[in-house]
Structure 1
Amino acid sequence: MAAAAAVHVLVFPTPVQGHINCMMHFAAGLVDAGLHVTFLHSDHNLRRLGGAATAGSPRLRFLSVPDDHARGVGDLLELLRSFQTKGSVAYRSLLTSLVRAGDNSNDGFPPVTCVVADGILSFAIDAAEEIGVPAIAFRTGSACSILSYFSLPRMFQLGDLPFPAGGGGGDLDEPVRGVPGMESFLRRRDLPSQFRSCTENQIDPMLQYLIDVTAHSSSVRALVLNTAASMEASAVAHIAKRMRDVFAIGPLQDMFPAPAGAASLWRADDACMAWLDGKTDRSVVYVSLGSLTVISREQFTEFLSGLIATGYPFLWVLRPNMVEASKNASVQEAIEEARNCNGRVVEWAPQRDVLRHRAVGCFLTHAGWNSTVEATIEGVPMMCWPFFADQQMNSRFVGAVWKTGLDMKDVCDRAVVAKMVREAMESAEIRESARTLARMVRQDVADGGSSAAEFKRLVGFIKELSTTNK
């Protein structure tokens, strides 16, 4: 424990909810292993967390760097580029001070000896190495999506890309051959959403950013993935061929609880749990499209009408301004209609508690990676309506590979919503597949399982880097 106490890891996520959530559980695991951890937020998010960011172990603390940008999906690339300029200067200054002598605050933290930065913040990895601190990349998305970014050159070579111009990109059900290990089931529509705008001469700016940071990962000391062998062994193996080292250590959400309130930027409506208590077993549809998805009024109406048509009670997470023009009277009236039709609408929910509740029968989700692994852990059937980025890949794995749910991408129609919700709620085959995968994942994260062993190896790797660097 004495050697571990001298190890101090700076954990730096991208300042959006899904990335913070995953990397907060990772930080909790490092603290549990006896290491000191500084968790680096943006100024905006640290203010938003308030007192919740002071809880936890005396070996865990929260600091921040400037970030003045909004969190909408359309602002993500601007946010990331801002971090490369204004944020990176503050980050380098802070890291330098933490390396030289801790922070001189007499709180018992030794100097920083290692950085684990979000893999899409490549500047944070480069700056740490330039200062003399060994750095590791952590990618919070699925291994299958990361492999697709690596595979872009091969997809162009084989003719998978670009999609035909006009007509919505040609036949979106055309097979994709260029992502190794996925040739038998991957279609054009299953690639990350930005692939659809690829042409011979132009690539979507956000996709180009992701391709660049993924390529950058090949040069880092190691890549950490929040996944399990039972979920993505093939994708991890193909990624490992391109890396110096890879650690598949998840799902972290089932391994290390985060400090209360420290991982969520929204205050959960815990009263919904009492509402669930009043429902019968597996009778409720849980609906959450994540922290970034924005839907049109028409899509909102289709979802709502489809949910009501099933006759099942539903718990719907509807963030403020998630629906375009959501202050419009017709939207508010529709929300009231939902409440009158055996539905409950909340701005945010304690998702893990909801998913493990006996009353929840299925999860209508955007298939973000955190939501996907959380539902997988609890054995809850999913109905996926992916919005962007890796969600398209994740939903294909749910529907075609693991068979733990249904994939409704590219469709938002009330009749389809109702049909698929009923199937997800009532299919014995889907429920059994979900339970089977849940058992396998729990074996991965249990003592002696692959993820538990990889996490232990990662802690040893970090200790060795910290000692060697000294």
Structure 2
Amino acid sequence: MGERKMEDTQQKPHAIVMAYPLQGHVSPAVDLAMKLASKGFTITFINTQSIDYQITKGRQPRAAGNDIFAGARESGLDIRYATVSDGFPVGLDFNLEQFVESQLHLIGGYVDELVGKIVRTADPPVSCLVGDTFHAWTSTIAKKYELVNVSFWTQPALVFNLYYHLDLLKINGHFASSCNRKDTIDYIPGIKAIEPRDLTSYLQETDVTTWAHEIVYKAFDNVMGADFILHNTVQELESETISALHQKKPSFAIGPVFPSGFTKSIVTTSLWSESDCTQWLDTKPSSSVLYVSFGSLAQLSEDNIMEIAHGLWLSGVSFIWVLRRDMVSYEETYSLPVGFEDGVKDRGLIVTWCSQIGVISHPSVGGFVTHCGWNSVLEGIWCSLPLLCFPFFADQTTNRKLVVDDWKIGINLCDEKSITREEVADKINRLMSGKSGDELRCETKKVKRTLENAIATDGSSEKNFNQFIKDLEVKIHKAKGLAAASSQPHEDISNIDQ
């Protein structure tokens, strides 16, 4: 269908887009904003002041008005930028308790005030609100300002479907029971069958009163008020799930929402400064380097870090290992085995953060040890990298099921949370060489072709995205018509003879 842009600039849809303030949510939200803008939308993108501070901290001071989307505007996209308080001073190192307090009780009021201001002053007028599904206040704000309500889900549709049917899981004793059932779950629409061990970590817990559960409950109460749901997935990979969800709410698989050509985005979204690994990678043979990263949030025990380090040492494989400073905890640092860095200095590079896309798209990289965050899974597939899976929490356990059991493009690092150096070394060698590695690469290339086909001009994701825009325009015009009708003076019929 090709690029479909709005003909009349006076009638351009204007969408407010707001990401959830975590690295794994900000990046796809920015990519979605760019994709909408490339279709002719005006976008106002909202970041929290804390996220904006983290993105810009340590980088060149920016001039007034030279925000993170300056490069996008120079390329011709109509993207404005705003920031909102999350209820705490800018620059504060959030602890978990403060983050939860902000998301559940503080930020909604600040966003309401900002959206109201944008709605009153924006040209063209704001017509829709696109919010991360985990925001618990989007339906209330969209209704208040008469905006079309679009929910953006940044994890697999399978995970959305599980959360959407919490009531069924609860009724059947697979969730919120003092002793959750362990038999196969085969009663959720759009899911053939799933084992309880493959549910998201929050659905496996017996204590369902935690802050994480409260966020999920509120988010999925809120999503009932959405007009449309956009999924960062591919229809061919999750067709039954998407079809089942579409019967409940208009749902569109539009993924992967990568920057065009899978190049590094012209919009900076990284919350930490990035090491440039290119020069080091250039010295390594094709497909010889293992990339090891557990994302922006996962924390390992010091024992696990030790075993992974020893496993890398024993494997003999070249590697880049992303070890955040807070990898063990926010309060204490980790230590590596004595002599480790000297022992692997010719074949190992340890960094605190890097451009993941820049590294895994390099021809020297041949495998990926991952926590199975959804962005990492999609990016790894795009680069034809087999995955060695070590999930920790949230959707990662369910993503592992898709990668290992359904698509056959990865293997488990271990079957339990505790790992041994011998197992790490063995699995690394299986991933990087021999028949096992070749078979995984072959399957990964097949799934990559599915992604490539989906975002091609006549692919499912592109068609779905264009259909979403058509349906959105219809919804916007209907809303405008109703608003105009309600503003017309009505004839007083109270005195007309019966």
Q: TM-score, normalised by structure 2?
A: 0.84
- Residue by residue, what CA displacement relative to the aligned partner does 1:70-129 show, whole Å, maximum 9, x if unpaired? 787x72x75354234332222111111111122xxxxxx523221101111130332121
Q: In the alignment, which residue of structure 2 is the partner of 1:239?
A: 245
Q: Return closer, same or farther for 1:325/1:208 CA change in 2, 3 Å cut-off.
A: closer
Alignment partner of 1:176 is 2:185: yes
User: Equivalent residue for 2:21?
Assistant: 15
Does 2:197 match 1:189? yes
Q: Which runs of 5+ in 1 are unaligned?
A: 103-108
Rounded to whole Å, the distance in 2 between the matches of 1:347 and 1:10 is: 33
Q: Output the CA distance in 2 between the equivalents of 1:388 and 1:18.
A: 14
- Identity percentage over the alignment? 27
Structure 1 residues 254 and 303: alpha-carbon distance in aligned structure 2, compared to 1, 3 A threshold: same
- 1:439 is aligned with what amino acid? R
CA contact (8 A) 1:55 1:259 kept: no
Opposite residue 157 of structure 2, the aligned amino acid is: A
Report the equivalent of 2:286.
Answer: 281
Aligned residue number for residue 152 of structure 1: 166
CA contact (8 A) 1:195 1:204 kept: no
1:57 alignment counterpart: 72
Mark the CA change 1:192 to 1:377 in structure 2 (over 3 Å): closer, same or farther.
Answer: same
**For 2:120, which of 100, 115, 125 is the aligned residue?**
100
Q: Distance in 1 between the 2:196 and 2:412 partners?
A: 14
Which of 414, 418, 421 lines up with 2:425 in the alignment? 418
CA deviation digits over 1:306-347, x for unaligned, max 9? 122111001111112213488658438566346526210111
Matched, 1:435 2:449: no
1:464 is matched with which residue: 439, 462, 474? 474
Q: Which residue of 130, 140, 146 corresponds with 2:154?
A: 140
For 2:157 and 2:400, the matched residues in 1 are separated by: 13
Alpha-carbon shift at residue 162 of structure 1 (Å): 5.3
Q: How far apart are the structure 2 equivalents of 1:154 and 1:361?
A: 42
Question: Helix, strand or coil: the match of 2:225?
Answer: coil
- 1:249-279 CA-to-partner distances (Å, cap 9, x unmatched) read 0000155767424222122212x11111111
1:214 is displaced (CA, Å) by 2.3
> Which structure: larger Rg?
2
Greater alpha carbon shift after TM alignment, 85-94 vs 61-70: 61-70
State the Cα deviation string for residues 170-221 of structure 1 (Å, max 9, x = none). 97xx53334445454x32221111123226xx54441243144224323310
Give the paired residue count: 452
Deviation string, structure 1 residues 389-426 (Cα, Å, up to 9, x no partner): 11100011100000011133533222222222222222
Q: Secondary structure at the match of 1:132?
A: coil
Match of 1:106 in 2: none
Gaps of at least 5 residues in structure 2 are 1-5, 57-61, 481-498
Distance 1:329 1:84 in 2: 32
Maintained 8 Å contact 1:175/1:187: yes
Q: How does 1:207-356 map to 2 (within 5 A)?
A: 207-243=213-249, 245-253=250-258, 255=260, 259-270=265-276, 272-324=277-329, 330-331=335-336, 336-337=341-342, 339-340=344-345, 342-356=347-361
- Tell whether the 8 Å contact from 1:317 to 1:349 is kept in structure 2 after alignment: yes
Structure 2 Cα separation of the partners of residues 180 and 136 of structure 1: 22
8 Å CA contact retained: 1:88, 1:123: yes
Give the secondary-structure state (helix, strand or coil) at the position aligned to 1:367.
Answer: coil
In the alignment, the residues of structure 1 paired with residue 288 and residue 331 of structure 2 have an alpha-carbon distance, to the nearest angstrom, of 28
- One-letter amino acid of the structure 2 residue matched with residue 266 of structure 1: W
Counterpart pick for 1:375 among 355, 376, 380: 380
- Tell me the equivalent position of 1:105: none
Query: What is the DSSP-based 3-state SS (H/G/I as helix, E as strand, rest coil) of the residue aligned with 2:152?
Result: strand
Query: Offset at 1:164?
Result: 6.8
- SS of the equivalent of 1:100 reads helix
Cα distance between partner residues in 2 of 1:335 and 1:321: 20
Alpha-carbon separation, structure 2, partners of 1:335 and 1:290? 22
Go from structure 1 to structure 2 and tell me whether the alpha carbon gap of 1:413 and 1:180 turns closer, same or farther (over 3 Å shift).
Answer: farther
Residues 318 and 347, structure 2, Cα contact 8 Å, conserved in 1: yes
For 2:330 and 2:297, the matched residues in 1 are separated by 16
